Chains A and B, each alone.
Chain A
């Protein structure tokens, strides 16, 4: 029977993959806690997933599934590296999954992990414009009484409040925008004359948006300009003007692939600079980006046009994330500022919740030194301005 053969092949493949996954897990050092030395060698027998919900559960009894929305996201990669490190040093057994920006893929992964005996989920939800996707994950977890820690991508609190064994670790999505706005206004007020290249008393800007419909992207796009304007007008200066004028369909340029990518920013910036230059007396005087990768792309284009080479004229470029190459660019003088998203803080907050759960079965039992929302179990890791 052909079907049988195919089935056998698929099963064999699945087994190979499962083995590979287990192999990956075994790499973790079983050093500091001798008690779990025997546990690590064992194959992942799907123990009753509802078991460790009580207090006093051992760290080694945990089987954690960590679901990332996209492996290729630079900031998420840093969180992953940090979280992997911290979980390794705790001696926790865990498996990482790549949602590859597709919510249905992630949901399948969650269900598979639960049937495979995962007893704690750490989820970086893909679809966060409505809480429905998160609610689906919560419902699946609720059925087996498994705790869920969401992180990074925020959604409406109704989902979090529907299940007591669930919490969110993230940032305040509006905060990065506010911080970027303040940083921009501070910079402009200190360097107004130098920035205003055509001397018309107003600063023209271009805005690169990472993606449509993403809470963080929306807020960053909105608040960075709004806050900067409030502060500028307060100091008696004109508001920022969009480079293409008020008639533009949108006051931002968005990555056509929704990938927050540097390539999109480079292509746009090349196009903008072809039309707006000092020669035409309408040069773009400020570049605001939703993330650092887009900032790097814009800088690459500016450099081709002879700006931002460290010396000579520099158009201020602002990003968010403070990834390493942005820090390098700020040090080299080709970029002006960014907002640091604390990857280490994010990872250690997640691990703290995990430890809380292990100690007494309550994720939120010890939140000392953390910023928690008043109306839901949402922890906010603070952003920080980074100017080098």
Chain B
């Protein structure tokens, strides 16, 4: 390299430094926008009203589980039991809300329960699962990866046994009551640009607001971040480590329960397979959205972007008619890129 070009490069670098840091700090958003534009050029329908509603709906369906799991990641943990918890609560919700009197009703002696009761049951079951995880993590100082690896397997057995109970005999649980379908998939909002927005989008927005409040405005939320950044410091400053851990995990569990309740109706046919790999998508969404495995770092808005990003990949590739084999490559690439970016920011801070 000649001297002039070196100088030139140095100058250019200095000039563009600010731009560069701006680009790097918002790289994910920029990539997302570029990708969206590229897909929209290949297939203009991608930005049609119905397509945008579809992207929002699918994001809404996967959002609650990601919001839950993010808390576990903030505690430098993770939760592998999320998928099976979603599956179990989906099957339970569906089985309690089948059309009364149908031949394939799982529990013929229980009528169709009121919906709020079923939501409470699903969320309570999720919360109990979470509390179980949290107890082992907090009490025995086991890494959440190990604990939830265990509970995930335990839950699968419960799920396999559950779908064989009652009248069901291992079949898919469907034939859902109309009240359940319309509560989840129906719409109370007026049509926007001729598109119906399903109710579960509203639930996701409410849950996001609730989680934002919990994370940012409550003592519990502050304790969670304190615990995630530095356990010893948190303990010394009077945070009840065990209680906070249990609460973070049960809050996550309650979110899985709610996801299960939504998925039960959204998918309409629930088997022991329901919820498979949901935790991986949720974890991926969180890390893409900047919830760091280093602990104590994460924003609700980041999680929403992470989930949206994953759905964009799924929907975009389908609509651009790209070979689906590439989907995993793109997902993997983005996860690595996002985490590397994240660590870079963290290292700079250090």
Contacts and interface: CB of A to CB of B under 8 A. Distances in A.
B174 interface: yes
Given A77-B169, A267-B314, A293 B277 contact: no
Contacts of B319: 271, 275
A304 B172 contact: no
Contact of A303 (B45, B185, B276): B185
Contacts of B48: 274-275
A248 B323 CA distance: 8
A38 to B, nearest CB: 30
B171 interface: yes
A325 interface: yes
A370 interface: no
Interface class of chain A by DSSP: helix
A279 B194 contact: yes
A249 B322 contact: yes
A78 B173 CA distance: 13
Contacts of A257: 276-277
Contact of B51 (A248, A250, A275): A275
B268 A266 contact: yes
Contacts, number: 142
A74 interface: yes
A47 interface: no
Interface of B: 43, 45-46, 48, 50-51, 53-55, 57-58, 102-104, 159-160, 163-164, 169-175, 181, 185, 194, 198, 263, 266-274, 276-277, 314-315, 318-319, 321-324, 327-328
B272 to A, nearest CB: 3
Given A249-B321, A261-B273, A296-B267, 18 more contacts: A71-B160, A72-B273, A78-B169, A80-B170, A81-B170, A261-B276, A266-B267, A266-B268, A277-B50, A279-B194, A296-B268, A297-B269, A299-B268, A303-B185, A324-B171, A325-B174, A328-B104, A328-B174
B220 to A, nearest CB: 32
A271 B324 CA distance: 14
Given A270-B58, A293-B271, A303-B181, A325 B321 contact: no
Nearest to A72: B272
A302 to B, nearest CB: 10
A228 to B, nearest CB: 22
A96 to B, nearest CB: 11
Nearest to A261: B273
Contacts of B271: 72, 74, 261-262, 293
A270 B48 CA distance: 14
Interface in A141-178: none
A290 interface: no
Interface of A: 71-74, 77-78, 80-81, 98, 244-245, 247-250, 253-254, 256-257, 259, 261-263, 266-268, 270-275, 277, 279-280, 292-293, 296-297, 299-300, 303-304, 323-325, 328-329
Interface centre among A71, A81, A245, A250 (most CB of B within 10 A): A71
A297 B164 CA distance: 21
Contacts of B181: 303
A304 B198 contact: yes
Contacts of B268: 262, 266, 296-297, 299-300, 303
A300 B48 CA distance: 22
B54 A324 contact: no
A324 B104 contact: yes
A270 B54 contact: yes
A311 B327 CA distance: 38
Contacts of A292: 172
Contacts of A277: 50
Contacts of B328: 256
10 contacts: A72-B272, A77-B171, A248-B321, A250-B324, A296-B172, A300-B185, A303-B268, A304-B185, A325-B173, A325-B269
A270 B314 CA distance: 12
Contacts of B160: 71-72, 98
B202 to A, nearest CB: 15
Contact of A300 (B54, B170, B266): B266
Nearest to B184: A304
B37 to A, nearest CB: 17
Given A263-B267, A271-B315, A325 B175 contact: yes
A257 B46 CA distance: 24
A263 B104 contact: no
Nearest to B318: A271
Given A74-B171, A249-B323, A250-B324, A274 B53 contact: yes
Nearest to B163: A77
B157 to A, nearest CB: 10
A120 B79 CA distance: 41
Best-buried of B164, B268, B319 by chain A (most CB within 10 Å): B268
Contacts of B269: 262, 293, 296-297, 300, 325
Q: Which 9 pairs show the lowest CB-CB distances between chains A and B?
A: A77-B170, A300-B268, A296-B269, A72-B272, A274-B54, A325-B174, A249-B323, A262-B269, A274-B51
A271 B54 contact: yes
A103 B46 CA distance: 40
Nearest to A305: B196
Contacts of A272: 318
A78 B324 contact: no
Given A249-B323, A271-B318, A263 B170 contact: no
Contacts of A71: 160, 272
Contacts of A275: 43, 45-46, 48, 50-51, 319
Given A266-B267, A296-B269, A274 B50 contact: yes
Contacts of B58: 267, 270-271
Contacts of B53: 274
A235 B261 CA distance: 47
Contacts of B267: 262-263, 266, 296-297, 300
Nearest to B272: A72
B277 A262 contact: no
